[in-house]
Amino acid sequence: PTDDMVYSVIAAVSKNGGIGYKGNLPWKIKKEMEYFNLMTTRVNLKGVQNAVIMGRCTWQSIPDKYRPLKGRINVVISKTLNSVPEGVLLYPKLEEALKSLYLNDRIENLWVIGGSGLYKEAVNDKNCKKLFITKIDQEYLCDTFFPDFDTKKFEETSEANVPKGIQEDNGIKYEFKVFKRL
Ligand code: FOL
């Protein structure tokens, strides 16, 4: 429960700026995905959950066995989807989702988890206070990219529970970065 309409972005981005290819993640990095799971799930209070907000393509990219993402309120933004499973929230626009989720005192933190359309709205929205970006130190064939954002409006920061330094999982190097809006 917060008193302001603030939220964060979480994304993993390749060296060439990519986030997706043909409706899926371009890579498979188990420990990085565990970080995503931990960061988006973790809350202080029992009986309170975080919400993950995603576009339709991101929703459809999550493997059936993980969908809806467990331990989190799943929110899908789409004007065309007709139905989502029970318990999943569907809104036509990000703004409307944020407005109504803020009135929900059973939600702790809000995370925008993609894809490029929602990321673009978020990085340009002052209510999006932090970007949790994993920089993957490899190039991948991608057809979806993290949007350019005004780096003068953010500064790198450190955050509890975010491991520092170069990480590695089956030969792939990556680093967890956190940027806060100035
Ligand atoms: N942010 C970061 N840092 N890494 C990502 O891979 C990522 N992916 C998305 C958004 N932000 C990200 C969107 N894509 C799952 C699959 C695709 C996806 C997001 C999540 C998924 O299946 N998650 C399960 C897996 C748990 C596990 O393997 O440990 C989950 O419960 O979170």
- State whether ipTM is beyond 0.90: yes
pLDDT band at 105 (very low <50, low <70, confident <90, very high): confident
Helix intervals (H) in the chain: 30-41, 56-61, 94-102, 116-123
How, if at all, do strands 72-77 and 89-91 pair?
parallel
What spacing in Å lies between the alpha carbon of 37 and ligand 1's midpoint? Answer: 6
| pLDDT at residue 3 in the model | 59
* Model pTM score: 0.97
Mutate to test the pocket of ligand 1, among 10, 19, 33, 169 (most ligand atoms within 8 A of CB): 33
Residue 84: partners with Cβ closer than 8 Å, 6 or more residues away:
59, 74, 76, 90
Number of H helices, E strands in the chain: 4, 11
What spacing in Å lies between the alpha carbon of 62 and ligand 1's midpoint? Answer: 7
What spacing in Å lies between the alpha carbon of 58 and ligand 1's midpoint? Answer: 10
Counting residues of the chain whose pLDDT is more than 90, the rounded percentage is 92
User: What are the pLDDT digits (tens) for 116-173?
Assistant: 999 999 999 999 999 999 999 999 999 999 999 999 999 999 999 999 999 999 999 9
